Structure formats: C-alpha cells, structure tokens
Amino acid sequence: MELVNYKLIITVVSKGKAEKVLDVAHKAGSVGGTILFGHGAAVRLLLGISVEPEKDIVLTLIDQDKAQTVIDALVKDMKLDEPHKGIAFVVSLDQVVGLYKDA
C-alpha cells in the first residue's frame, strides 16, 4: 500500500456556490469532493426579520503536495480574500482509509 499524505480542504460558501468550488478545485488538481449543507449561526436582521444564512460546505480530500495550489485557486476564483465571499481552511490528516487509486 502506497503511503500518501493527504490534506482536507474545507470550504464554506453561500448556498448555490458549491458546484463552482468543486469546478475550481478540480481544475487545480482535485479529483472530487463532498458537498454538505448547513446554515450559519450568525443571525442578521433584514428589515427586522431574523435570518440564518444557508451555506454549502465542500470537503475536498487532496494529496498534500496539491493542497496549496487548490487553496490558491479557491482564493482567486471564489474571491475568498474579499468580505462575505466564504472561508476555506486546510486540516492535516493523520490517517486516511478507503481510498483506492486505479492501478
């Protein structure tokens, strides 16, 4: 079994943006991802009405050596360096099982 170090990129964006996140990540070297749905805990008042914004959460498991390239692409194409566009962060993983590369 080949030992590959993986990173997990977690990207949180407004509802409806997950497909673009996956597309950007794929073009930067990712082979897939998982989309989860959630809502923000921060409550905004809009005309006196409380709103809990819906979110798309994209989990991207990536080879360690490709993680920075994917993050850089997400920042650029999703404009994550601008306010209210989303957030992405990388988690180092100690163990990953269940992944099989085609021989």
Longest Cα pair distance anywhere in the chain, in angstroms? 58
Residue 98 confidence (pLDDT) above 60 = yes
Domains and CATH numbers, the chain: 6-92 (3.30.70.120)
- Give pTM, 2 decimals: 0.85
Chain segment 57-76, per-residue pLDDT in tens: 999 999 999 999 999 999 99
Instruction: Identify the weakest region by mean pLDDT among 11-15, 41-45, 85-89, 95-99.
Output: 41-45
Q: Which residues contact 54 (CB under 8 A, 6 or more apart)?
A: 14, 15, 37, 38, 39, 40
Q: Which residue has the higher pLDDT, 64 or 52?
A: 64
